[in-house]
Amino acid sequence: MDEELSKKSHKKIRIADLEGKPKIAYFSMEIGIDKRMPTYSGGLGVLAGDTIKSCADLNIPLVGITLLSENGYFYQKLDKDGNQTELPANFSVSNFLKLLPSKTTVTIEGRDIDIRAWLYRFEGINGYIIPVFFLDSNVEGNSEWDRNLTKHLYGGDNKYRLAQEIILGIGGIRMLHALGYDTIDKYHMNEGHAALGTLELYRQLNDVEKVREQCVFTTHTPVAAGHDQFELSYAKPMIGDILPDSILKEIIFENRLNMTRLALFFSHYVNGVAKKHGEVSQLMFPGHSIDSITNGVHTATWVSEPFQKLFDKHMPCWRSDPYVLRSAFSINKEEIWHAHMDAKKKLIDFVNERYNVGMNYDDFTIGFARRQTAYKRPELLISDRKRLEEIAEKVGPLQIIYAGKAHPKDESGKESIKKIFETMKTIRGKVKIIFIHNYNMTIGKMMTAGTDLWLNTPRRPREASGTSGMKAAHNGVPQFGTLDGWWLEGCIENITGWSIGPEKTEDNESDDDVDRNDLYNKLETWIMPKFYNDRDNWIRTMRSCIAINGSFFNTNRMVQQYVLNAYFM
């Protein structure tokens, strides 16, 4: 019966069979498609990779375009006090990617720069292949500065970034042409970094409406300050004539070229990445119509091995059709627990071997892993050390596993890592803390599957969506988080996890004191007692995470919404 279901859902979306030629080009500054290639910095890149994987599984005729980021997003080294140093994370490009003979050119500050492309092929579950092109300016004949442009993801100054965006947007469109793609009729900009591509389309078509018909834009940033923008004084000479005076007034904001406004102006379909984020974006840009498609994760990528086995046994077609995860309700609770303990042992063994922390398999373990940056409030959980010690004394032992990189220029993010290290050394009693260095997809997978509770504490309304909690849900790990981003949709109190703080406040901002109190109170009176004293109900919650949230917050569902709402309408 499960197989029948799976076949049916495939029939609906075999769009590739209609044409057999790519129709959609998906642009993203970062794409994390292979855990061995550090060409991503965080959620945006992992989402892009998961999107491409689901497109491959669903035979969606799409190609991906990104930058090579040859030096990788850095390797994070931490000293004993938590001081972060960034080392290059070079990878052997030719082991993973094939250099293509096609070349194209972009003009920056009047200089012609040659661009080449490397090919990665991702094969979906039915053998359908999605090509991903990694653009590279490290070509003989280009100047030294120009040859460096595709090396550092989010490195360098604003001019460096703008040059990268010229390569990604304008270079990307031209490269598709050079590669002989002539069937593409939708250009999807995953965040504003590729927005300059619309100028190349406008140069070719010379008709705003025609460009709009072809462009789709997904915004990821809920605060105005986060939008990419460049001073006109250097942006205009760098970009050159391809930036037409006739549309300048539409895309300039406070004398800066604003990439979000450029993408908005030229797109017929715009969306935020969770319902709330769509609303917040709509308020920010009242002149545009902004929809929302809530993010997901690629199910087969993020389910741990023990749960893969369990799902294979009970819901054999879960990889091709993650909707069937809803029947996880019928899996025996003991089996869920055993699979979880297998995943947990792997994580605990890993941290014990690496850091000699003596963590226990049976102790309640909280995970927190994400970019270390102020709005995510990494230190909220440990901000009252005494309180935490008391809770553990009273209810039961507590283990906390952290990971996350701070952007090289994010000083407050780096401070939070040091604060966690300081607490780690001074905390007493039944609490153990460890910080795993160099967070990446491998560590992320191990942590989202191997902890008992996934913590997420963003300051509202700054979390556009968040996706690590979705990975946890796929592995039966409930989330405990502030009501922002996807969690507003995913949280059913005490059934799929727990909320931190109120859903609404007058100014819609988070109050650290209110949230901290709620966090400790719930941990003490609801969450940890349930784990230690009511295991049966705890496992029921775990199962609901898979059935209710895993079956929905996946990229197969998300991609199908993009197809219906953005690509083919």
Ligand X SMILES: *Cc1c(COP(=O)(O)O)cnc(C)c1O
Stretch of 40-48, 102-110, 247-255, 529-537 lying at the interface with ligand X (CB under 6 A): 40-48
- Give whichever of 42 and 197 is closer to ligand X, judged by the CB atom: 42
DSSP 465: -
Q: How far is the CB of 375 from ligand X (least distance, A)?
A: 11
Site for ligand X in 10-39 (CB under 6 A): none
Single residue of 22, 43, 49, 490 touching ligand X by CB under 6 A: 43
First vs last Cα of the chain: how many Å apart? 32
Q: How far is the CB of 192 from ligand X (least distance, A)?
A: 18
- Of 271 and 555, the one with the shorter C-beta distance to ligand X is 555
The CB-of-510 to ligand X minimum distance in angstroms stands at 16
Question: Residues 110, 143: contact at Cβ < 8 Å?
Answer: no
Identify which of residues 376 and 414 has a Cβ nearer to ligand X in the complex.
Answer: 376
Q: Which of 276, 272, 306, 273 is nearest to 289 (CA)?
A: 272
Nearer to ligand X, 28 or 137 (CB): 28
DSSP3 helix / strand / coil % (the chain, rounded to 5): 45, 20, 35
- Closest CB 368 distance from ligand X, rounded Å: 10
We find the least distance from the C-beta atom of residue 478 to ligand X, in angstroms, to be 15
Q: Restricting to residues 432-491, which ones interact with ligand X according to CB under 6 A?
A: 439-441, 444, 466-468, 471
In whole angstroms, what is the distance from residue 492 CA to residue 157 CA? 43
CA–CA separation, 483 and 39 (whole Å): 30
Nearest distance in Å: CB 50, ligand X: 9
Min dist CB 41 to ligand X, Å, is 8
**Residue 22 in contact with residue 62, Cβ under 8 Å?**
yes
Residue 213: half-sphere exposure toward Cβ, Cα within 13 Å:
8
Of 42-50, 72-80, 314-322, 528-536: span binding ligand X (CB under 6 A) = 42-50
Q: By CB under 6 A, how many residues form the interface with ligand X?
A: 12
| 525 alpha-carbon distance from chain centroid | 32
Q: How far is the CB of 444 from ligand X (least distance, A)?
A: 3
Q: Which of residues 140-179 bind ligand X (CB under 6 A)?
A: none
Tell me the chain's radius of gyration from C-alpha atoms.
23
Choosing from 161, 370, 432, 516, the residue that interacts with ligand X (CB under 6 A) is: 370
Going across the sheet that includes 62-67, the strands are 98-108, 111-123, 129-136, 62-67, 24-28, 186-190, 215-218, 269-272, 290-292
Contact 288, 264 (CB under 8 A): yes
In whole angstroms, the minimum distance from the beta carbon of 67 to ligand X comes to: 18
Nearer to ligand X (CB atom), residue 466 or residue 501: 466
Q: Which of 24, 25, 31, 46 binds ligand X (CB under 6 A)?
A: 46
Are 387 and 431 within 8 A, CB to CB? no
Nearer to ligand X, 437 or 471 (CB): 471
The residue among 430, 402, 429 whose CA lies nearest residue 418 is: 402
Pick the closer one to ligand X by CB: 269 or 454: 454
**49 near ligand X (CB under 6 A):** no
CB of 77 to ligand X, least distance (A): 17
Query: Which residue from 6, 16, 33, 42 is in contact with ligand X, where contact means CB under 6 A?
Result: 42
Q: Which is nearer to ligand X, 132 or 539 (CB)?
A: 132
* For ligand X, the closer CB: 403 or 528: 403
Q: Which is nearer to ligand X, 432 or 459 (CB)?
A: 459
Angle, CA 141 vertex, CA 140 and CA 147 arms, to 5°:
65
Cα dist. 3→6, 59, 494 in Å?
Answer: 5, 18, 33
What letter would DSSP give residue 458?
Answer: P
* Cis ω for the linkage preceding 101 (within 30 of 0): no
Query: What does the block give as tokens for 20?
Result: 């057999």
Give the residues lining the site for ligand X (CB under 6 A): 42-43, 46, 370, 439-441, 444, 466-468, 471
